[in-house]
Structure formats: C-alpha cells, structure tokens
Chains A and B, each alone.
Chain A
Amino acid sequence: MANAPLLQLRGLTKRFLGVTALSAVDFTARAGEIHALLGENGAGKSTLIKVLTGIHVPDCGSIALSGQPIAPRSPKDAEAAGISTVYQEVNLIRALSVAENIALGRQPGRFGFLNWRAIRRHAREALARLEIECDVDAELGSLSIALQQMVAIARALDLRARLLVLDEPTASLDQKEVAELFKVMRRLRGEGLGIIFVTHFLDQVYAVCERITVLRNGQLVGEYPTAELPKLALVGKMLGREVADESGRAPAQSAPATNPAAGAAPPVLEARGLGRRHAVEGVDLALRRGEVTGLAGLLGSGRTETARLLFGVDRAESGEIRIHDRVVRLGSPRDAAQLGLGFCSEDRKSEGILPNLSVRENLIFALQAKRGAWHTLSRAEQTELCDRYIAALRIKTADAETPIKNLSGGNQQKVLLARWLATQPEVIILDEPTRGIDVGAKAEIEQLIARLRADGLAVLLISSEVEEIVRNCSHVLVLRERRPAGKIAGDEITPARLMQAMAGNA
C-alpha cells in the first residue's frame, strides 16, 4: 500500500500486578485503511486500545501519530490528538437528545449559556457526514441500538479525528444494521481516515478490512494483508496453532475413547433447534451418560449463550429441551438445578463465588438451595461434604471456614465444581473451567472431568482451547457466528478439523 503510516506503536508493554497484558507489541495503522485487530480472550486487544485512548499508561514503548510522538493520559487527550473511540456498549446518555449527546462536553456557547442552534446544526452536520438520517431532537434511548451506535460514531468523529477505533461495534447489530455500519466505515475510509476494527466475526473482517493484526497472550503474532491470509490460517494464528498440524491426538492423550454402549443410549439431555435472538440459533445437542461433549468455537460464537439457554439463565425463544425424553421448561437456574443440571459459569467472580462466604457455605450452597430453606443440612453433614470434596478435588484451603475469596482461582473453581457435584447432578455444564488458573490446576481439572465421565455424568465442556476439546471430548459441536458449524465425533476430533469448522471451511 502506498499509504503512509498514520499510527505507529512500537514496543508497547503494559503489566498489571505482575501479569503482562502487552509485551513489546508493534502495531501500525494507515490512513484510508480499515485494520482489523484480532485475538482471543486475553490476547491484549482491549489493553492495546485502552493504552491508545489514554485510559492506561504503557510501561514502555512509544506511540506516534503521523510521525509525531504522543502520550495520551486520558480519553480527552487522545481525542485532542485525533484518536476517537466508539465502544461496544454505547457510552452515551439515553435520556438526552441526539444533538445533546453529540455536543456533550464541548457545547458551543458563551458565559455558560448554550447555543442551541449551533448544537443542532453541528449534530445535523455530523450525521450528514455519515449519511445518516435521524431527528436530532429525538431522545437517544428511543433509537435502535444501531442508530445509537451511529450517533456514537458521529460524536466520536470530531473534525480533528484522524483515527477511529471501533471496539466490537457489531456485537449487538443484526445483519442489515451491520451492512449499514460497513457503508459508513467505507465512506470514512474514503475520506482518508484510519480505522481500527475490533470484532469477533471473521466474515466481517474479510468483508471490510484491508489488513489484519493478530495478538495472542499479549504478544504480536503478526500483521497480514487480508487478501493473503486465508481464514483457516487466521484461526490458526489466533489460537496459536499451525494449520499444517494434522497430528490429531497423540496416543497418550486419547483417553476419552467413546464408550461403545454410550452412543446407543438415549441422551439425558437433548436440545433441538434451540435459539434466542442475538444469542444463538438452531443448536442441536445430545448429552449422554458417561460422555464428554465439547462445545467449541471462537470468542463470540455463541458458546456461553448456548450454556445459558440450557441452564435456564436466559429463556429459549425457539426450539425445545428434553430431559430423559420429556420436554422441560427452564425458566430459571433453579428449575435447571431441580432437574439435575449443574453449571459452572466462565465468569467465576460475578456468576460463581459468594466471595465473603466461607468455602463450606459456597460448597454446600447449591445442594442447600435445591433442598430449600427448611430441609437444612446439619453441620455434621456439611462438614462431611466439605471434607470429602476438599480431599477428593484436592482443594487447597486453610480450612473450610476460610472466605472463598482468599483462595486461588484454581481452587475457587474446584469449590464451584464441588458445589454442583454435591447436588449429584446428571448433567454438568462446564464453561471454560480452566480459564485463568495455573497449569497444574488445569491438569487436575481435566483429570476430574475424566472422573466425572467415568462416574456416569453427562458433561458439556465449553472451551476456547482446541487442545482441551481434543483431549477431553468424544463428541464436539462447533459453533460459528452464533450457529452450529459442524459436529465432529470420535477420532475425527483433531485440532485441524476443529479449526476448519471454526473458520467456516468445514
């Protein structure tokens, strides 16, 4: 490309309390180009953007805009330098009008009086630049999310803006709205703006981006022209595996051979055509006793959304769930728990632990909730359960009365697993059970999964790590862009097959 570099990041490093979020990352964005910034969870995308917009100050490295070094200390600094950002959640005030939102913080006027005519005119001009038709006096909250997003972009596009950062702008838009957004993005590109586009949807990357930068674990994987990077290769880069790797399961790893009897057994839980708007569509799943079924897919592919439907956290809008061939209505996690399901959420902190309560209370909680307030577990029963699970799962804690927040992530995860095992469930859904825990604990959790399978549980394992799926599962459903993208079973479960399905080349 003939385009001169607009933004140059060199050797950017950022650590948080000893955790390296970005490690010597280089990044270049060019004027008149849409540049995709991609990576799985923990890759460092959001840290990079926060450094760029002045929310975080980098530990070392340099930022240059049009060759001039800059060091933004706040979003306002960054905006003044010409970097404007639109976040995934619309960051505007719903109760104010479109015009007020666009002018907010930089109202034209004198002596504390607002010049309303100027505010309206400015808003109309800003929207006209995007070719958006919209009443500038309308209350923002009355507009569709897509239009709100456009208003956010109009607001971000100050006349000085030279670089626009779009952080997952399409997450809550439907297809038509995405097309509208792309039209606007292309138009801005034509005006010579540089655009950084963060998204989980690979098709969208190929639809509008000239260039792709991939990050993984805080490090730069590489920068590629979109035309020269096939989708499958891109998925390989994001997940850190070469596509050529067709080795599949090493013999030592192929523990979970399909239980021969299991395949024929009726499923404990079956989902047919399960779906919910903006979440996931058309999911068919069958979970059987003594089997670990995998749910694979890239970030944002609808894995967690599927788990939430299966556990009654969100209500399914289409399809049905059968347990032992009986159609059930799951209106809440409570319903699901009563029917013998358990669910370890990926978000341990906000959806898992009761931080200030003790290990004991956390561990017995699901069982006690299932029994109700009056069928109290005696202290002796509680102690017995705790002793058993602390020993069996090798939970490292000073004692059962320690607040769970004092435990390490891996041990918290084990307590949450024990919480569900104590209810003696038939089906357990594990959403990213090994995320954010150390390698040793990871191996232990995987051993536990093998034991659950051997004990006759039906396990649904959600993981973004291809190897974890390969090592543990006998059936896999791959999701892609919120739809099923393929079913793989038995020895066909290889990293290459999984990645092909995730990339949409299956």
Chain B
Amino acid sequence: MNPAESSRPRRPLSPLVWLCLGLTALVLWNVVSNPAFLAVTLRDGHVYGVPIDIFTQASRTMLVALGMTLVIATGGVDLSVGSVVAIAGAVCALTLGHGAGLPLTIAAAIAVGAAAGAVNGLLVARLAIQPIVATLILMVAGRGIAQLLSGGQVLIIADKSFEFLANGFVLGLPFAPLLVAALFLAAHLALRRSALGLFIEAAGDNETASRFAGLAAARIKWLVYVFSGACAGLAGVLTASNIRAADANRAGENAELDAIFAVVVGGTALTGGRFSILGTFLGALLIQTLATTMYYRGVPPAVAPVPKALLIVAVSLLQSEKLRNRISALWRKPRKVAA
C-alpha cells in the first residue's frame, strides 16, 4: 500500500445512498405517470393513500427482515422464517379459539417463533451445521407442523381486537407500520447502545478471532436465531390478523426470500460482518414500492418477478467491489497503479 493511500482512507459511499437514490427514482417515475401516487387523504380520521398502503404491506417483510439482518450479519441465513410465520398464525388461531386473550395469544406466537429459532440456533451454533441446511430442515418441516396444528384447514379468525393489529389505526395512522417502525428503532438502540451490535459484527467478520478475544461467539450466534424466530413469530401474528385467518400453506410464502433480499439490498453482505438496520428498513420499503408499482402499472402477476429480478441484479452489481473499481477506473484519468 502506498503511503498516500493509507494516510487518507477512502470511505466507500454508503450503500444507503444508492438505496435512497433508487427509491427516489422509482417514486419519481411513478409520480410522473400518475401524479396521485403520493397523494394521502384523510377519511373518517384515518389516512389513506398509496404510500400508506406501501408501508402497511411492507411491515411484515420488514419484521422478518429485521431478524434476518442479524442472522446474516453473523454469516448465516434463516430459511425457516416463512414456515415460522405459518406456525405462529396457526398458534394464534388455536389460542384465540380456546378463549385466550390478545396478550396471551401474541406472547404464545412469539414464544413459539423464538423456540423454533432456538432449535435453528442450536443446530448452527452448537452442532456447527451449515445455516442453510440447518434452517432448511425447519423450512420444510415447519409447513407440516403448521398443517398439523391447523388440522389441514384454513382456520378463520373472527376476533375484532386481533384484527386490529394489522388493520387498525392509531391517531389516524395504521398500527402495524407504527409498531414495526418502533421495533426497528428499539432494535437499533439496543444493538448500538449496547455492545451487542459489535459482538454480532465481530462474530460475523471473523468468528475464530472473536472467540480468541474472549467472546462467547456461539452464544451470540444462537441468540440471533432466537431473535429471528421471534420476529417471524410476530410477523405471523400480523399476517394472520391481516387475512383474518391462519393459512398453513400460504402464510409467509417466500417471506424468507423477500427478507434476504431486503437485507442484502440494505447493504448487509451475505458473508457476514457489518450490518445496517436502517438499510434493511429501506430495502424492504424498496421491494414493496416496486411490487406496488407493478400492481398500479397493471403488470400481470406472472411477469411481476422480472423487474424484481432486474433490481436484484442491479443491486448485486453495485455491491461488487470488482465492478465498482472498474467503473471508477473509467472516470479516473488513466495512471499507473502501484502493485
């Protein structure tokens, strides 16, 4: 390394900047063709409008992605979250069906999610099974468990207070996005004000070195899976509340893929290490905005995955250091590069 370089560290442009640019561009494109895209109206003391829809729709993905962020930061991945969403939904239907109150129902769903995460974490952190394989087990088995719980039927949930969770309004604003935003803020504070965030990043950056420095890295890894399971459990509550039913087959379908995508778009690398909670939030928002755009443009659902795929390709390319270097080399005046 030449001295000039080491004396002035070049901070790479934060991936958040790209994310914001992408989101803005997408919104602008929508506004140009449909000036009412950003319009928000007040009806019966509640706000309505496309942006509100986007936030409401995105809230469940955001929640799953919050847990996924930490798992990915340790260098792992949690494929089981979609199935955990379905299990949690079935648990809600059962507990409400047995006459339990709302707090107990929510607590039960989150606890079941956390328990599922604890099993994943045990496999990954203690038994050193590859995260993809370890969580694939529950991804496959989880749907079966949800079927078993719901007796193979879609269980209708008719409970006004339960419906409120995903569909209700507080002070004119939708409750679910508010709840999720509050959770993101709480998670951010808990991770960055304590040393937990540092421990997670260290375990993901170089697990052996973190262990040699006295960190109980296995416990950290176990904890992030528990957290991811709990997030998926709560997302399951919101999903069941949203459709007023527990659907073992469809609830949380592809939730793991959307969550992974949101995390990666948000600037957390799949190789582990640095993570960004805010990035994940914006990433989930971008995905949902894209999906809503497709919907408003009248793109047939069968074609809708194509733009999403293009977005993934674009993001992956932006994150490739090799490509970034090549592109910036185009701008720079050609000059000798020291070996």
B8 interface residue (CB < 8 Å to A):
yes
Residue A357 at the chain B interface, CB threshold 8 Å = yes
Residue of chain A at shortest CB distance from B198 = A361
In contact, B199 and A369 (Cβ under 8 angstroms): yes
Question: Given A357, A370, A423, which contacts B201 in the complex, CB threshold below 8 Å?
Answer: A357
> Which of B1, B198, B214, B273 is close to A334, meaning CB atoms less than 8 Å apart?
B214
**Interface pair A368/B209, CB less than 8 Å apart:** no
Contact yes or no, B212 A313, CB < 8 A? yes
Interface size on B, residues (CB 8 A): 27
A410 CB → nearest B CB, Å: 13
Q: A333-B213, A419-B213 are in contact. Are A373 and B199 (CB under 8 A)?
A: yes
**Chain B residues whose C-beta falls within 8 Å of the C-beta of A398 in the assembled complex:** 6-9
* Pairwise interchain contact A334-B215, C-beta atoms closer than 8 A: yes
Interface contact B205-A354, CB-CB below 8 Å: yes
Report chain A residues within 8 Å CB of B214: 333-334, 336-338, 366, 369-370, 423
Contact with B along A358-372 (1 / 0, CB 8 A): 000100011011111
Assess whether A376 is interfacial by the CB under 8 Å rule. yes
CB distance from A344 to the nearest CB of B (A): 9
Chain A interface size, as a band, is 35 or more
Interface contact B212-A365, CB-CB below 8 Å:
no
B270 to chain A, nearest CB (A): 14
- Interchain nearest-CB distance for B336 vs A (Å): 16
A129 to B: closest C-beta gap in Å: 39
Bound together, the chains give a CA A311 to CA B211 distance in angstroms of 11
| Contacting pair A365 B211 (CB below 8 A) | no
Which of B110-118, B147-155, B189-197, B244-252 lies at the binding interface?
B189-197
Report the bound CA distance from A399 to B6 in whole Å. Answer: 10
Q: Give residues of chain A (338-365) contacting chain B, Cβ–Cβ below 8 Å.
A: 338, 343, 345, 350-357, 361, 365
Q: B166 near A: Cβ within 8 Å?
A: no
Interface residues as binary, B1-41 with A (CB distance below 8 Å gives 1, 0 otherwise): 10000111100000000000000000000000000000000
**Contact of B208 with A by CB under 8 A:** yes
Complex Cα–Cα for A147 and B6 (A): 51
Query: Given A18-B339, A366-B213, A366-B214, do A376 and B195 touch, yes or no (CB 8 Å)?
Result: yes
Which residues of chain B come closer than 8 Å to A407, judged between CB atoms? 6
- B206: interface (CB < 8 Å): yes
* Alpha-carbon distance between A56 and B335 when the two chains are bound, in angstroms: 30
- A368-B198 contact, Cβ under 8 Å, with A355-B206, A398-B7: yes
In the complex, chain A residues whose CB is within 8 Å of the CB of B196: 373
Q: Is B54 an interface residue (CB 8 A)?
A: no
Q: Once the chains bind, are B205 and A355 in contact (CB under 8 Å)? A: yes
Decide: A333 near B211, CB < 8 A? Known: A365-B198, A368-B195. yes
A457 to chain B, nearest CB (A): 17
Distance from A293 Cβ to chain B, minimum over Cβ atoms (Å): 21
Interfacial chain B residues near A332, Cβ < 8 Å: 211, 216
- Given the known interface contacts A18-B339, A406-B1, the answer about A376 and B210 at a Cβ–Cβ threshold of 8 Å is no
Residue in B202, B209, B216, B274 whose beta carbon sits within 8 Å of that of A351 in the complex = B209
B6, A406: Cβ atoms closer than 8 Å: yes
For B199-243 the 0/1 string (1 means CB < 8 A from A) is 101100110111111111000000000000000000000000000
Identify the closest chain A residue to B339 (Cβ).
A17
Question: Is there a chain B Cβ closer than 8 Å to A111's Cβ?
Answer: no
Would you call A402 an interface residue if the criterion is a C-beta within 8 Å of the partner chain's C-beta atoms?
Answer: yes
Residues of B within 8 A of A113 (CB): none
In the complex, chain B residues whose CB is within 8 Å of the CB of A351: 208-209, 212
Q: How far is the CB of A401 from chain B (nearest CB, A)?
A: 8
Set of chain B residues within 8 Å of A356, measured between Cβ atoms: 205, 273-274
A residues less than 8 Å from B8 (CB atoms): 398
Whether A352 touches B205, Cβ cut-off 8 Å, given contacts A17-B339, A398-B6, A398-B9, is: no
Docked Cα-Cα span, A465 to B83, in Å, equals 58
Query: Whose C-beta in chain A lies nearest to the C-beta of B271?
Result: A356
Residues of A397-455 at the interface with B, using a CB-CB cut-off of 8 Å, are 397-399, 401-403, 406-408, 419, 423
The reply to whether B9 and A369 contact each other, CB–CB distance below 8 Å, is no
Q: How far is the CA of A401 from the CA of B199 in the complex (A)?
A: 17
Question: Given the complex, which residues of A lie within 8 Å of B209, measured CB to CB?
Answer: 350-354
Residues of B within 8 A of A401 (CB): 9
- B195 / chain A contacts, CB cutoff of 8 Å: 368, 371-374, 376-377
Min CB distance A403 to B, Å, is 8
Task: Indicate with 1 or 0, residue by residue over B176-195, a CB within 8 angstroms of chain A CB atoms.
Answer: 00000000000000000111
11 further contact pairs, Cβ within 8 A, besides A350-B208, A369-B210, A398-B6: A334-B214, A334-B215, A343-B212, A350-B206, A353-B209, A365-B202, A366-B214, A398-B7, A399-B9, A402-B9, A406-B9
11 interchain pairs, CB-CB under 8 A? A311-B212, A353-B209, A354-B201, A356-B274, A366-B214, A368-B199, A370-B214, A371-B195, A373-B195, A374-B194, A398-B6
Cβ-closest 5 pairs across A and B: A337-B214, A369-B214, A369-B215, A366-B213, A354-B205
